[in-house]
DNA sequence: TCTTACCGTAAGTCATGTCTTACGCTGAGT
DNA sequence: ACTCAGCGTAAGACATGACTTACGGTAAGA
């Protein structure tokens, strides 16, 4: 739901791999687990984290749960980084101006 | 040095706070520690992680070590996320086309 | 209804990461 | 030379997180 949860979620390698799989195409838990080096329950747990971070969505299809990436979640993370980027540039500019003023 | 280290580095709240401080203006370790809820050695350790991730740079000034953000590091992280974003859009497009073809 | 596929959760283990205190090194000033 | 400020690192405590196996619950098919 927030950029903080998103970045924590994507910090884990397995979860990143899982997210990449979902970026390619949505799918049920079992199919996803086949392409990952961990057990199916582990995948479920990772999906829970990704879901709570707002990075994926679920859709029930019979007894299957089809997971897919939630683009708004990734957009939020992008926006946060871009804001950070702006801060860095502003800080850099301030440093330059200060140096010019003091004439170090 | 890689996006993976960067995202892991910024996943920690204290380290994010530290990085935000540096985004505002560079400074020595002690000064940074005063604005953080942890001890000075802890700040040193966090700075090491940020440094190894390529997110900050160091400059010696007497016995002081002036840390500053490394813009290329943040740019790398941005690039990774943007690439991810493109993948997601491509995946979405593929899904749409597949749905159109199969006419689900 | 009975079975089976599919999945989430609980419980417990084990590794990893974050913090603290203690210590040692280096450069500046007296 | 001596002292002190400023850091980095080592060592150890502690919490957190990622994984496994075991279990229970739900929907589809025979």
* Position A98 in a domain: no
As for how many domains chain B has, the answer is 1
Structure tokens belonging to residue A70 = 């939630």
CA distance B28 to A95: 15
B47 touches strand D (CB under 7 A): yes
| A102: in domain | no
User: Residue B27: which nucleotide is closest by CA–C1'?
Assistant: D6
Nearest CA in chain A to B4: A11
Cβ distance of B88 and A94 shorter than 8 Å: no
CATH number at residue B41: 1.10.10.10
Domain annotation covers residue A24: yes
- Report pTM: 0.90
What are the CA-CA distances from residue A103 to residues A28, A88, A98, B24 (Å)?
A: 62, 22, 8, 20
**Contact call for residues A66 and A25 (beta carbons, < 8 A):** no
Per the domain annotation, does B103 fall within a domain?
no
Does nucleic acid strand C have an atom less than 7 angstroms from the CB of A64?
A: yes
Where in the sequence is the domain holding A17, given as residue range(s)? Answer: 3-77
Chain segment B84-101, per-residue pLDDT in tens: 888 888 877 777 887 666
SS3 (DSSP) at B26: coil
Q: What is the pLDDT of residues A30-50, one digit of tens each?
A: 999 999 999 999 999 999 999
For residue A23, pLDDT over 60 is answered with yes
Closest CA to A89 of B81, B7, B74, B4: B74
- Specify if B91 maps to a domain: no
């Amino acid at each position: 739901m927030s950029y903080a949860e998103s970045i924590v979620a994507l910090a884990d390698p397995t979860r990143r791999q899982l997210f990449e799989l979902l970026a390619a195409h949505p799918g049920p838990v079992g199919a996803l687990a086949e392409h990952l080096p961990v057990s199916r329950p582990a995948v479920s747990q990772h999906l829970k984290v990704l879901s709570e971070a707002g990075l994926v969505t679920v859709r029930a299809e019979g007894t299957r749960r089809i997971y897919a990436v939630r683009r708004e979640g990734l957009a939020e993370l992008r926006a946060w980084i871009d804001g950070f980027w702006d801060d860095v540039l502003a800080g850099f500019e301030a440093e330059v101006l200060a140096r010019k003023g003091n004439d170090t």
